[in-house]
């Protein structure tokens, strides 16, 4: 993975109360672990550090260093929080991947023919989808990221094998 890759660990929601606290959604496997990564980076490079974190109904309430009033907290609404990929632990499970590790992999079919390149991973609520830019050009295609459609991921070799739904990646 090229240096400088960032991984999104969470997103700030609305302000909570009048003392600068914010609602926070964590995307880490252990949601409370988001506070263990030290300073988190916003899209524009600002660093924010979680001083306190407590669970709420379907999110956390967080106090961030230097944020002490509702206006400052409100200004952070919808900010995504990132860390450099290198700061994350390596997975012990061979079937577990960071999305950042999949971006840029070649997408090949079962015979080894290059279909395109992975450009993004999405989840719209019904499971992960990989977005592939076809090698032949044109619009990107979305492929379900499951064992049926992506039976093999080989990060070391820089590729993943896909078995796309019928009609995708037509030969040109």
In this prediction, residue 126 carries a pLDDT of: 82
Flag whether pLDDT at 4 surpasses 90.
no
Q: What is the pLDDT of residues 37-59, one digit of tens each?
A: 999 999 999 999 999 999 999 89
Across the chain, mean pLDDT equals 90
Clarify whether residues 49 and 108 are in a common domain.
no
Last residue of a domain, one of 62, 87, 112: 87
| Position 114 in a domain | yes
| Position 145 in a domain | yes
| Position 141 in a domain | yes
Domain count, the chain: 2
| Position 166 in a domain | no
Q: Which CATH number belongs to the domain containing residue 73 in this structure?
A: 2.40.30.60
Last residue of a domain, one of 87, 116, 147: 87
Q: What is the pLDDT of residues 10-24, one digit of tens each?
A: 999 999 999 999 999
What's the pLDDT band for 172 if we cut at 50, 70, 90? very low
Give the residue numbers spanning the domain of 19. Answer: 6-87
Tell if the pTM clears 0.75, that is, is over it.
no
Q: What angle do CA 36, 39, 42 make, to 5 degrees?
A: 120
Last residue of a domain, one of 87, 113, 142: 87
Q: Which CATH number belongs to the domain containing residue 118 in this structure?
A: 2.30.30.240
Instruction: With CA atoms as reference, report the closest residue to 2 among 98, 97, 86, 83.
Output: 86
Q: Are 9 and 88 in contact (CB under 8 A)?
A: no
Instruction: With CA atoms as reference, report the closest residue to 15 among 62, 55, 66, 58.
Output: 62
| Position 76 in a domain | yes
Clarify whether residues 107 and 54 are in a common domain.
no
| Position 81 in a domain | yes
Flag whether pLDDT at 131 surpasses 90.
yes
| Position 171 in a domain | no
């Amino acid at each position: 993975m090229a240096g400088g890759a960032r991984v999104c660990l969470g997103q700030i929601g609305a302000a909570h109360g009048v003392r600068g606290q914010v609602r926070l959604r964590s995307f880490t496997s252990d949601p409370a672990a988001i506070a263990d990564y030290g300073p988190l980076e916003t899209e524009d490079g600002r660093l924010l550090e979680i001083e306190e974190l407590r669970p709420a109904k379907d999110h956390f309430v967080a106090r961030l260093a230097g944020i002490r009033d509702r206006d400052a907290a409100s200004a952070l609404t919808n900010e995504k929080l990132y860390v450099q990929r290198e700061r994350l632990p390596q997975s012990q499970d061979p079937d577990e991947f960071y999305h950042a590790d999949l971006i840029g992999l070649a997408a090949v079919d079962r015979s080894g023919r290059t279909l395109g390149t992975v450009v993004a991973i999405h989840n719209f609520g019904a499971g992960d989808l990989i977005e592939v830019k076809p090698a032949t050009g044109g619009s990107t295609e979305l492929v379900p990221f499951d064992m049926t459609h992506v039976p093999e991921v080989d990060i070391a070799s820089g590729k993943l094998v896909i078995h796309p739904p019928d009609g995708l990646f037509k030969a040109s």
